[in-house]
Amino acid sequence: MITGFFEMDWVERVRELMRLRQMTQLNLADKSGYSAPGLNRLLNGKRNASHEALTAIAEALGTTVEYLKHGIDRPDYRANVNAVPCLADSQIESWQSSPDSIKNEIANWTACPNPKAGMKTFAYQVTSDDMFSITGLIIPPGAIVFVDPDTGISQGETALFMVNGQAVIREARQIAGEWMLSPSNAKYQAIPMTERAAFVGRVVGVLQLP
């Protein structure tokens, strides 16, 4: 199970969704039918949130009460939010080939910030510093990347690859006709894309955690 960012309470999830949707607390109050002081009391724990309150807030944010309370937003509820699963290395291949076979085993779902992401897009928490650099796209350890397997590989784009069963985030570079997995961090070497290094999908969003 992916931990850390996904272990939030409902108020933290509300604030994160507000940030992703660029909504102020006043915007949320207007959309949910609450007064600004009333919503403030709910978010600051000065008033218990009823199911009706959570429903109104969830609808205003385009998500579900299930997601606000438990961090789970299953594909059946995708009408108003692009919910994606949070996968571990061992789950990625199964999700690519047959999402329906494992969707009920996935404990954590989260909202993808890219509205154009495909239906097989998933979230992955980076553990290495391969792509941590002071230049270019910075993906530090602990960041959340959103990967779309329905995309193709293109020169210079950041993508997720499976190398010997382990997920690796690298930049795709074609050099002398050969695809290489290029790191941003100079302490690592590029990896040739052979049968042991398979392309999974392009990174379509990055969430850097504080």
127-158 confidence digits (pLDDT tens): 988 888 766 567 888 899 999 998 888 888 99
> What residue ranges of the chain have pLDDT lower than 70?
1-8, 70-82, 134-137, 195, 210
CATH superfamily of 1-71: lambda repressor-like DNA-binding domains (1.10.260.40)
CB atoms within 10 A of CB 206: 19
pTM of the entire predicted model = 0.62
Q: How many helices (H) and strands (E) does the chain have?
A: 7, 9
Backbone angles phi, psi at 102, to 5 degrees: -125, 0
Residue length of the chain:
210
DSSP 122: E
pLDDT at 5: 40
Domain residue ranges of the chain, discontinuous segments joined by +? 1-71, 82-210
**Looking at the domain covering 82-210, what would its CATH class be?**
mainly beta
- Are 39 and 47 in contact by the 8 Å Cβ rule? The answer is no
